Structures are given as structure tokens and as C-alpha cells.
Amino acid sequence: MSSKKVALVVIRRLPRYYRYLSELLLNGVDRISSKDLSERMGVTASQIRQDLNCFGGFGQQGYGYNVEYLYREIGKLLGLENGRTMIIIGAGNLGHAIAGYSNFERRGFRLIGIFDSNKGLVGDKVKGVGIMHSDDLESFIAVNKPDIAVLAIPKVSAQDMLKRLTATGIKGIWNFSMSELKVPDGMAIETVHLSDSLMTLSCKMMQTEME
Ligand code: NAI
């Protein structure tokens, strides 16, 4: 596997390959051509070959791809090989919804802690994980070394929380806080805006209505 930096647009397509391959594996498919994979995924075969060539290929001329091998290799590229641990900060509606979504665990993301500044929530359990007070965040991180912190807190608290998290040395932030946060070198952030997706849908609907 090549260790060079890969374009973000390619990285963004990898989870989709991973999902399709996991479905193929579940259906007992052990080999697939780039043409078949492209038809299932609705992208061109040359796109698939180009994407996978960024990482050194994985396919064989005339054979196609070994599904299990490709699944494992893409899992490695996605950093899922050894699993990831995560904590959620903010145990409100969104924090509960994220904690309750079992598919993350299936993808290798294990929830090990939930924190909230509301003392009234401390001790409640979400998916078997007890909510802790956010004052205990740093000591928990020092001992348990989670890989990812999920920010499910309001925008006003996000910047301060990021500062605290940066000092702990945590490496990944999954940011739902509606705040455009910048992280220092050595840290990665992925910001999610569900409303962007909804507005994109609305725009697509306008376009189909115009056809
Ligand atoms: P919520 O009000 O139900 O929960 C927020 C929780 O965060 C509360 O339990 C509160 O006590 C806790 N909290 C506030 N400041 C904190 C701090 N400094 N440390 C620890 N805990 C703290 O709100 P909800 O619906 O769960 O949404 C959470 C945030 O996520 C909101 O800001 C909302 O705008 C945002 N959101 C973003 C979405 C997205 O697509 N990016 C989708 C839905 C919500």
C-alpha cells in the first residue's frame, strides 16, 4: 500500500466501497470485476480502477477483485483495522441518537464514554454506557485514551471544548456542533451538517421539477 497522501475526494469515496464490499461478503460473493462493482455502485469502472490505483491497485487483470481482500485492504486504508474507540460529549437528543446507532460498532467504532455538563444526567445509561460529568473528561481521556471525540454540544460551547480536547492529545473530532472549528496539526476533524444534506435534496427536487 502506498503511504503518499491521497486526495480528499478519493478518501470520501472509500467508505462507500467498503459498504458495498461488506454487502457482497455477506451475500457470499468472493470475486468481482471492476465492471460489476461499477454497475452496482453507479460509478464508472475506470473511476474504481483509478481510485484503487491511488493505493497500489489490489485487482488482477482478467480476475477482478478478491472481495474479502479488497474489503480488508480498504478497511486498513480507512484506519479500521484495529477498531477505534470514541466518546460522545453532549448527552442530549443527538448524543443519544449517535450512541444508540449500533451500526457504528459494526464498523469498528466502540463507544467507551459519554459526557455532559448537566449533573442531572450523570449516571444515566445510554446503550450500557454511563453518562459522566464533563469535569471528568480530561482524567477519563488520560486513562482510556479514546481515539475520537464526538461533539454533540451547542455551538457556543464548541470552541472551548475543542481547546480542552486539544490539550488532552485526542486525535479525531467528529463535529456536529454547527461550529466551523479549526484543529491544530496532528489532529483531524470531520464536520457534519445534516441540514446541508437536506438542502441538497431540496435543490435536487427543484431540478427534477424543472425537467
Ligand atoms: P440537546 O439540547 O438535546 O443536547 C445538548 C446537550 O449538550 C445537553 O444535554 C447539554 O447539557 C450538553 N452540553 C452543553 N454544553 C456542554 C458542555 N460544554 N459540555 C458537555 N455537555 C454540554 O441538543 P441536541 O439536539 O442533542 O443537539 C446538540 C447540538 O448538535 C446542537 O447544537 C445542535 O444544533 C447540533 N445538531 C447538529 C446537527 C448536525 O447535523 N450537525 C444535527 C442535530 C443537532
| Mean pLDDT value of segment 137-145 | 98
Q: What percent of the chain has pLDDT over 90?
A: 68
Contacts of 153 (CB under 8 A, 6+ apart): 89, 90, 161, 177
When mean pLDDT is compared across 41-55, 134-148, 194-208, the lowest value belongs to 41-55
Task: Give yes or no for a contact between 61 and 53, defined as CB atoms under 8 angstroms apart.
Answer: no
Distance 198 CA to ligand 1 centre (A): 19
Sign of CA dihedral 60, 62, 65, 67: negative
pLDDT value at position 7? 83
Q: Mean per-residue pLDDT for 185-211?
A: 93
Amino acid at 43: V
Q: What's the CA-to-centroid distance between 148 and ligand 1, angstroms?
A: 17
Least confident of 54-58, 111-115, 180-184: 54-58
Ligand 1 within 6 A of 178 CB? Answer: yes
Enter the C-alpha cell of residue 14. Answer: 472509500
This prediction's pTM: 0.91
Residue 116 phi, psi (nearest 5):
-150, 150
**Alpha-helical regions (H) of 57-181:** 67-77, 93-100, 103-106, 137-144, 155-168
Provide φ and ψ at 149, rounded to 5°: -110, 130
For residue 193, name the pLDDT band (cuts at 50, 70, 90): very high
pLDDT at 2 over 60: no
Task: Report, as an integer, the average pLDDT of 28-54.
Answer: 86
Per residue in 157-166, pLDDT tens?
Answer: 999 999 999 9
Probe residue for ligand 1, chosen from 96, 101, 116 as the CB with the greatest number of ligand atoms within 8 Å? 116
Give me the chain's average pLDDT, please: 91
